[in-house]
A and B are shown apart, each in its own frame.
Chain A
Amino acid sequence: MSVLEAAHENDIDLEGACEASLACSTCHVIVMDTEYYNKLEEPTDEENDMLDLAFGLTETSRLGCQVIARPELDGVRLAIPSASRNFAVDGFVPKPH
């Protein structure tokens, strides 16, 4: 199950306009801990192409539809970019890209 699917299963408002076809960046999530970001597989060229255009892109950004849940990722914290809400959660401020 991808992060996008997990979000929908838990009624979290994460948009998935192209339904995981790598044709948009609406499921953009920010991995809040670098340690967890590094555990993920490198994004493909196709994912990077979409991330280039993502709103509020950071160095630990990924597309939610491409991040697959695994036991090693237990406890991962993800932030959803927002135009109007303050980013900082628990003092976290994402590094802009």
Chain B
Amino acid sequence: MPLVTRNIEPRHLCRQKLPRVRNELECVTNIDLANVIRQLGSLSKNAEDIFGELFTQAKTFASRVSSLAERVDRLQVKVTQLDPKEEEVSLQGINTRKAFRSSTIQDQKLFDRDSLPVPILETYSTCDTPPPLNNLTPYRDDGKEALKFYTNPSYFFDLWKEKMLQDTKDIMKEKRKHRKEKKDNPNRGNVNPRKIKTRKEEWEKMKMGQEFVESKEKLGLSGYSPALVYQNGSIGSVENVDAGSYPPPPQADIASSPSPSFSEDNLPPPPAEFSYPADNQRGSVLAAPKRSSVVSPSHPPPAPPLGSPPGPKPGFASPPAPPPPPPLGIPPPPPAMGFGSPETPLPPSPASFPPHPDFAAPPPPPPPPAADYPTLPPPPMSQPAGGVPPPPPPPPPPGPPPLPFSGGDGQPAVPPPPISDATKPKSSLPAVSDARSDLLSAIRQGFQLRRVEEQREQEKHDVVGNDVATILSRRIAVEYSDSEDDSSEFDEDDWSD
């Protein structure tokens, strides 16, 4: 719904209850005139705002123009001093000098809270602020802000950032593996020789024009690739991008607005960035429908489908790594649960989540077999809690949870008891009846180790630059170095043998 930027305030001159007077017509006239004066007041306020914005813009342009004028003057002086005969042009100079690169500063954070015009900011400020859930933050064990479970304006950006970082890591791993394989068999030659790429094919393809070159993944016309990339989620053709990425400097022409980053076209664009002030209303509107599915984008992959939000059921479907948002199908609490099954969901969970002790709050009545697992530690239990987005009020300490947890634990385990038994990777879990204390201590240790690892990972993440441009550029760099490696290998094959 579009918001009106500037409103003139008393909209209706005389729609109010009239006081008891002798002469009502005069009364109405007087009230109208008073409201007209108020309207004039708000009109002048809006006018001042308008002219203020235009003035600041014009001022920045004026400063830019003056600096440009200075540069032109300096250049003028310099050019007159140039003498074509005197200038030496050495071949080494051409090759060794750094090529000209125009400054590629990309505009970022365009639709941020800071760039919001003042009148609209005032409109936002008349809305209710979100509830002060951040007061509950010191009671959380996992260090996340409690308000983020209610409304998180940076949710989409975080999700996208995770995805990009993950992709860069994957690409680097693949490269390392590739390099390692090459290093491992240096003398074996090419077991699977690469298909001989001749330049002729490439020229043929480019004959009709750069746009018609078929991309590696058959994205069709490069003009449409941005749209298609959204479906694929992958980077478009490398050939297209290679040819277009380094236009010769003299072509830096005036009329054409330079395409700032083809790379941004090819990658799924980051979501619009939101700053995160304390009273962000938009975020809550957006977040409300979405809250039901994911708690924190920083742990998307490993989350087993956790409990659906309003239901007090502890969702703990057995398969360890389904995608978090959609399949929140929680198996209805079955009357009886198998013994071995609760163990199976446990191991993956500590790997993925820090404890969510707040899950302990809505425990279903523990079915009788669950009583056999009093010693099951809190952390795995907390995992399903993560999926419950509006967190129940202050989470109880992790001490008491084991008992209610075991109740919740039992339920989802039932559906695929045989399968989960078969696929159990962590064979270290002994049978239930024996050495429960050993199990407990082992799992506790394991869990704590992972917690430290996660902290280290988090610290590493914080070092990374937090804006779209750096993340994208890193990803592109990795992609390109990857393709360059490939092509360099191709060249080596060309020359070897």
Q: Do A and B bind each other?
A: no
